[in-house]
Amino acid sequence: MPGFIMCRHIGEAHPHCSRTTPNMGRYRRTPQGHFKDVNSFDKSLAEKLAFIEGLDKKDKIAFYAVLDAFIGKKKLKDALSNVLSDVK
């Protein structure tokens, strides 16, 4: 990634780094030390849960906040659809 120094402290600033490294949230490090893109859409439920469990506490909190927002949106949409269908 241009303009950033890659170190083991992804997304954080450290004294030995001359610049802040980028947040590499969608990427995972391979055993060879390379980064590869993670696409969990077509993964099994167990693999998805393993990805979630591998997150830091702060990232888990953010993930569950987004998940709760989408669940709330779906429940609200379903409730409004039911009310509208009852009115007709």
| Per-residue pLDDT tens over the stretch 56-87 | 999 999 999 999 999 999 999 999 999 999 88
Place of tokens 């269908």: 85
Q: Which two tokens stand for residue 47?
A: 């693999």
Question: pTM for the full model?
Answer: 0.54
Per-residue pLDDT band at 30 (split at 50, 70, 90): low
Q: Which two tokens stand for residue 75?
A: 């429940």
Per-residue pLDDT band at 52 (split at 50, 70, 90): very high
Instruction: Using DSSP bridges, classify how beta strands 35-37 and 27-29 pair: parallel, antiparallel or unpaired.
Output: antiparallel
Q: How far, in Å, CA of 18 to CA of 41, rounded?
A: 36
